[in-house]
């Protein structure tokens, strides 16, 4: 790793503090050292499974090697991103799931929170939008604020058969044709290297610029491949820093001991909590920039661990429901439930040691003590105090919580955080003895959608839907 100096990398290390999961702080509601040690064997097996299967495309574990095998791709992306910034006023991602959540998350994390409202001289890049739904109002309203002829569209789908993404593409294709614009000039595909509908379309058109979504990388693990790297580079995000951060976290997690491997310990803490009935995992960043990390994590955790059969074919129905929350905002909406509701939650705090600015709080209202005490502090002090206070309140109430601490938010620390969560998920799935990387539960809804829209080959599914009992008017009130 050559990214900056060793001293700088170490100063940017993302750390895990799980004191508030232990009996020292929670009493009989927390884990004893003996209890955690009882998971050592399963944790070691999970570590070995991930280590032995790194990079295996057939197991969808190619994501483990993304920090190391993309030098040529990164160079090409940086060149393309520069051309896009120079040519286009708008950049729009057409995708869904990981193809959308990753770009949204990185945009929010590392760009100005009002990026699109900035003048071009301050943005230094096109306005950015991600269309991750097929609500017709959303598409209409996007078209009210962009000019398709001045927009680069990044269509992301490995199969090119994702109904939502291809619907968006058909609409945009029609608009470009009506505007007399050659689709090759305004569209970039991110798709499979050798097969799929986008590959067919590219071949028919005569070669649309395309990036590869690697075979061994599932959508929810795809932020560190061209799916996420191209949009990030267009926005001026340091994608080399993202990958370097991921590689650094991978290095930190090469230790087989859960006491030295933060991702493995995160997996153990969640699995142990789940097996004591903590079936809800709350992700609570104390940073507006990290708000959409929770959305990205929700897909990663839910789609990976929500399974009904083990690798050896036994029924299981496992998983933990992820919930997104935002500090300080949700102290005023959700924390009441977390502190006094059921003992069924684990709260993961994402905390910053240093924010992008301090924002001093002026003195004023000296005759009102409830207000005047704030003067002379900073907003950074206030949000950090509220973070610590919420963790304290939860701990006092016997509620499990732990903190992932970032020295500051930059591309390197974000890369660490993403890889930490990906490894945690892989370890947790291995401990549960499930297939972490498939999503069969999504398929039934897809098939029913195809049948309802008359797609060829789904006539039997349509008959199945038509055979449902008629709805009882008495149940519609």
Residue in the block written with tokens 């058969």: 161
Residues 6+ apart with CB under 8 A from 430: 45, 46, 49, 50, 436
Considering the candidates 332, 340, 366, 471, report the single residue annotated as catalytic.
332
| Residue 114: active-site member | no
In the prediction, which pLDDT does 2 show? 61
- Average pLDDT of 354-371? 96
Q: Is 303 a catalytic residue?
A: yes
CB-based contact 102:415 (threshold 8 Å): no
Band of pLDDT at residue 3, cut at 50, 70 and 90: confident
| Catalytic residue of the set 131, 164, 303, 380 | 303
Whole-angstrom Cα distance, residue 87 to residue 100?
23
Q: How far apart are CA 378 and CA 401, in angstroms?
A: 26
Distance CA 412, CA 245 (A): 4
Name the strand (E) or helix (H) holding 39. none
DSSP letter (8 states) at residue 116? G
Within its chain, how far is the Cα of 311 from the centroid?
25
Mean pLDDT computed over 463-468: 94
Q: In this prediction, what percent of the chain has a pLDDT beyond 90?
A: 97
DSSP sequence for 127-187? EEEEE----HHHHHHHHHH--GGGEEEEEE-SSS--HHHHHHHHHHHHHHHHTT--HHHHE
Instruction: Kindly list the distances between the CA atom of residue 116 and the CA atoms of 113, 120, 168, 473, in Å, as whole numbers in the listed order.
Output: 9, 9, 22, 48
C-alpha neighbours within 13 Å on the C-beta side of residue 224: 32
**Candidates 177, 260, 446, 463; catalytic one:** 446
Write out the two tokens for 359.
Answer: 């924002």
- How is residue 332 written in tokens? 């005023």
Buried b (16+ CB within 10 A) or exposed e, 233-270: bbbbbbbbbbbbbbbbbbebbeeeebeebbbbbbbbbb
d(CA 193, CA 226): 12
What is the per-residue pLDDT across 124-152, written as a single tens digit (0 to 9) for each?
899 999 999 999 999 999 999 999 999 99
pLDDT tens digits, one per residue of 146-171? 999 999 999 999 999 999 999 999 99
Please state the pTM of the whole predicted model: 0.96
446 catalytically annotated = yes
Largest CA distance in the chain: 75
The strand ranges marked E within 217-319 are 280-285, 307-309, 315-318
């Amino acid at each position: 790793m050559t990214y900056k100096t060793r001293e700088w990398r170490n100063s940017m290390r993302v750390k895990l503090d799980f004191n508030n999961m232990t009996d020292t702080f929670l009493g009989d509601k927390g884990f004893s050292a003996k209890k955690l040690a009882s998971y050592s064997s399963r944790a070691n097996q999970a570590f070995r499974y991930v280590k032995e299967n790194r990079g295996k495309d057939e197991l969808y574990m190619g994501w483990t090697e993304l920090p190391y095998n993309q030098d040529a791709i990164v160079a090409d992306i940086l060149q393309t991103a520069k051309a896009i910034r120079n040519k286009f006023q708008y950049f729009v991602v057409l995708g869904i799931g990981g193809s959308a959540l990753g770009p949204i998350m990185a945009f929010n994390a590392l760009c100005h929170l009002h990026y699109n409202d900035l003048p071009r001289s301050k943005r230094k890049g096109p306005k950015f939008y991600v269309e991750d739904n097929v609500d017709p109002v959303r598409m209409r309203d996007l078209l009210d604020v962009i000019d398709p002829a001045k927009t680069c569209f990044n269509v992301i789908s490995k199969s090119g058969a994702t109904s939502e993404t291809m619907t968006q593409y058909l609409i945009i294709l029609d608009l470009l044709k009506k505007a007399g614009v050659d689709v090759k000039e305004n569209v970039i595909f991110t798709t499979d290297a050798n097969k799929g509908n986008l590959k067919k379309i590219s071949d028919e058109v005569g070669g649309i610029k395309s990036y590869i979504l690697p075979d061994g990388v599932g959508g929810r693990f795809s932020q560190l491949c061209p799916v996420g790297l191209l949009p990030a580079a267009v926005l001026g995000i340091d994608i080399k820093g993202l990958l370097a951060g991921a590689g650094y976290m991978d290095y930190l997690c090469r230790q087989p001991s859960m006491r030295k491997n933060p991702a493995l310990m995160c997996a153990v803490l969640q699995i142990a909590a789940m097996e004591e009935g903590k079936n809800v995992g709350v992700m609570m960043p104390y940073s507006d920039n990290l708000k959409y990390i929770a959305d990205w994590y929700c897909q990663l955790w839910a789609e990976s661990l929500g399974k009904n059969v083990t690798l050896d074919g036994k029924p299981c129905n496992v998983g933990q429901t992820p919930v997104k929350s935002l500090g300080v905002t949700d102290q005023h909406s959700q924390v009441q439930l977390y502190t006094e509701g059921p003992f069924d939650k684990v709260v993961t705090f994402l905390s910053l040691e240093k924010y992008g600015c301090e924002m001093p709080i002026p003195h004023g209202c000296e005759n009102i003590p409830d207000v005047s005490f704030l003067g002379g502090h900073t907003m950074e002090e206030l949000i950090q105090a509220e973070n610590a206070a919420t963790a304290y309140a939860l701990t006092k109430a016997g509620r499990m919580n732990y903190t992932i601490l970032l020295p500051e938010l930059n591309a390197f620390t974000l890369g660490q955080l993403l890889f930490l969560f990906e490894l945690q998920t892989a370890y947790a799935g291995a401990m549960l003895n499930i297939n972490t990387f498939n999503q069969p539960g999504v398929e039934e809804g897809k098939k029913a959608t195809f049948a309802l829209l008359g797609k060829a080959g789904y006539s039997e599914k349509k008959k199945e839907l038509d055979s449902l009992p008629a709805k009882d008017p008495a149940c519609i009130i």
